[in-house]
Amino acid sequence: MGSLRRGLDALYTAGGVVAAFFTITILAIIVLQMLARWTGSTFPGAADYAGYCMAGASFFAFAYALNHGAHIRVSLLLSKMGRWRYWGELWCFAVGTAASTFLARYAIKVTVESHRFKDVSQGQDATPLWIPQSIMAIGAVLLAICFWDHLIRLIFTGNHGIREDLVDQSHAE
């Protein structure tokens, strides 16, 4: 069990690291685009590539942010529930698991359909859309795994294992 736990946590962190690479890539694309403009050349599709990286930077980090307690929620009622808090948390994780699974299901579906329709980007990049969309799909699946993980943990151990890291949040690290 310990190794599964460590493996899953490492998986979410790996998602965060990939998201970080996407963020750096956004920076790189924008700098290259500027350089291209100043030197009288062009970087066709730069805006589109930056957009895909934006999706990657967000989706790959969703699970990582959840695991670190960085996602925001209105916990006023929860914190006042006392011994009923377990049921409150169970409700939240059940809704979260359902929503993220729904999101993942359709993120996969849209990617598969884009592949089948041979849908291509309308920008100068003319990228087959399933490629960037699979970034979204993988990220959404990661988030769903993370929610299932914590829901199951909550059911069997009574604790979902996410510490709302307030210092972390206040530093928004």
Partner 1 sequence: ETWDMPLAYAASNFHSENAAEFATCVKDKTGGAMEIVTHPSGSLFAGNDIKRAIQTGQAPIGERLISAHQNENPIFGIDSIPFLATSFGAHEQLWEVAGPKVAEILAQQNLVYLYSVPWPPQGLYFKKPVESVADMKGIKFRSYSTATARMAELTGMLPVQVEAAELSQALATGVAESFISSGATGYDRKVWEHLTHFYEVDAWLPRNIVFANKDAWDGLSVETQSAMRDCAATAKANGLQRSKDYTQFTLDGLKAGGMTVGPAGANLVAELKAIGETMTAEWLESAGDEGRAVVDAYKAKN
Partner 2 sequence: MEQLIPIALFLFVLFLLLGSGVWVGLALLGVAYVGMELFTSRPTGDAMITVIWRSASSWTLTALPLFIWMGEILYRTRLSEDMFRGLSPWMARLPGGLVHTNIVGCTVFAAVSGSSAATLTTVGKMSIPELRKRQYPERMVIGTLAGAATLGLMIPPSLTLIVYGVTINESITKLFFAGILPGLVLALMFMTYVAIYSRVSSSWNPSPEPRMSFWEKVQNSRFLIPVMLLIIVVIGSMYLGFATATEAAAFGVIGALVLAAGQGSLNWGTFTESLMGAVRTSAMIALILAGAAFLSLSMGFTGLPRGLADLIASFELTRFELLMVLLVFYIILGCFLDGISSVVLTMAVVEPMIREAGIDLIWFGIFIVVVVEMAQITPPIGFNLFVLQGMTEHQMGFIARAAIPMFLIMVLMVFVLIAFPDLATWLPENIRSRPS
**Sites of contact with partner 1 (CB under 8 A):** 33, 36-37, 40, 42-44, 46-47, 113, 117-122, 124, 126
59 binds, among partner 2, partner 1, none (CB under 5 to 8 A by kind): partner 2
77 class by beta-carbon count within 10 Å (0-12 exposed, 13-18 middle, 19+ buried)? exposed
Least Cβ distance, residue 166 to partner 1 (angstroms): 37
Phi, psi of 153 (to 5 degrees): -60, -40
159 binds, among partner 1, partner 2, none (CB under 5 to 8 A by kind): none
Structure token digits, residue 82: 């006392």
Binding site for partner 2 (CB under 8 A): 16, 19-20, 23-24, 26-27, 30-31, 33-34, 38, 47-48, 50-55, 57-59, 61-62, 64-66, 68, 70-79, 88-89, 91-92, 95-96, 99-100, 102-103, 105-107, 109-110, 132-133, 136, 166, 169-173
Residue pointed to by tokens 């011994």: 83
CA distances from 107 to 1, 3, 78, 168 (A): 30, 29, 31, 30
Residue 130 CB neighbour total at 10 angstroms: 19
